[in-house]
Amino acid sequence: MTTFVLVHGAWHGPWAWDRVVPLLHAAGARTLAPDLSAPGDRGLRDHVETVVATLAALDTRADEVVLVGHSYAGLVVREAADARPDAVDHVVLVDGWAGHDGASLVSLAPDAFGQAVRAAAEALGDGWRIPAPPPVAFGIDDDGDAAWLAARLSPQPLRTFTEPTRLTGAVDRIPGTALCCRPETYPFERFGDEVGYRTLALDGPHDVMLARPEPLARMLLDTRSFKNRKRAV
């Protein structure tokens, strides 16, 4: 059986996958959605530990494990897979930030992005948390979906964007796919290509799991049969 470990991005929670989970279950897969939205001044390393703990609870001898990270969580899942390469069969980035050892989200993003989130944290977040942007920033412009999303978004600790990833290279031996939403908002296709992943286009906004869950679920299910690297041991 395939287990999808679905890791949400910044400002979101496990609820981000609510429209995708039933579709994966209908296809016979299992899902887990760790929660990175706990309050407090947490950093990227805290989020990696949460995902590693989720992987440790799986019976990887019986399950095929697909580790999925949306947006910011691309950095999280790659470091978690690097820490537990024995537990992960495939890494999938959904419009995901990704880089090599030492990369952080602000180091990958344009300078203006880093300046903006630091300024927002200083002005509105006591210097350490970034207020959530409006739903349109995630490509959600349907009135109903925008209201649903706005009611659930929460501040994001600044340290999650500034802490560098720590990678040994083990993650690079795990098959990977980068699903890149179109129209592109940031160079997610280039990020995926630079870390050696197969890149596939997916029409939809950055929060594609809310706006177009069916095609996203189909593409996630398709990743199970693609092996572009030897599994790390």
Q: Is residue 19 part of a domain?
A: yes
Q: Is residue 199 part of a domain?
A: yes
Q: Is residue 143 part of a domain?
A: no
The per-residue pLDDT for range 55-90, each reduced to its tens digit, is 998 976 777 999 999 999 999 999 999 999 999 999
44-56 and 73-83 helices, crossing angle to 10°: 50
Asked if residue 45 lies in contact with residue 77, where contact means CB atoms within 8 angstroms, the answer is: no
How many residues does the structure list for the chain? 233
Structural domain containing residue 199: 2-105+163-225
Strands, DSSP E only, in the chain? 2-7, 30-32, 64-70, 90-94, 129-130, 156-157, 176-182, 198-203
Q: Is residue 142 part of a domain?
A: no
Q: Is residue 127 part of a domain?
A: no
For the purposes of burial, counting CB atoms within 10 Å of the CB of 77, is it exposed (0-12), middle (13-18) or buried (19 or more)? buried
71: CATH: 3.40.50.1820
Q: Is residue 136 part of a domain?
A: no
> What's the confidence (pLDDT) of residue 48?
98
At residue 208, the 3 state secondary structure works out as: helix
If phi > 0 it is left, if psi is from -120 to 50 it is alpha, else beta; for residue 7 that is beta
Q: Which residues, in sequence order, are bridge partners of residue 91?
A: 67, 176
The per-residue pLDDT for range 4-60, each reduced to its tens digit, is 999 999 999 999 999 999 999 999 999 999 999 998 999 999 999 999 999 998 976
Mean pLDDT of 156-171: 98
DSSP state of 159: H
Smallest CA-to-CA distance from 36 within 44, 28, 27, 25 is with 44
Q: Is residue 158 part of a domain?
A: no
- In this structure, is the dihedral angle defined by the CA atoms of residues 37, 38, 42 and 44, taken in order, positive or negative? negative
Q: Report the alpha-carbon distance of residue 20 to residue 46 in Å, rounded.
A: 25
pLDDT bracket for residue 233 (50, 70, 90): very low
Domain count, the chain: 1
The per-residue pLDDT for range 193-221, each reduced to its tens digit, is 999 999 999 999 999 999 999 999 999 99
The per-residue pLDDT for range 94-138, each reduced to its tens digit, is 999 999 999 999 999 999 999 999 999 999 999 999 999 999 999
Q: Which residues, in sequence order, are bridge partners of residue 31?
A: 4
- Which residue's structure tokens are 């300024």? 119
Q: Is residue 209 part of a domain?
A: yes
How far from chain centre, in Å, is Cα 128? 21
> What's the confidence (pLDDT) of residue 169?
97
Tell whether the model's pLDDT for residue 227 goes beyond 70.
no
Cβ neighbours for 80, distance < 8 A, ≥ 6 positions apart: 48, 51, 52, 55, 67, 88
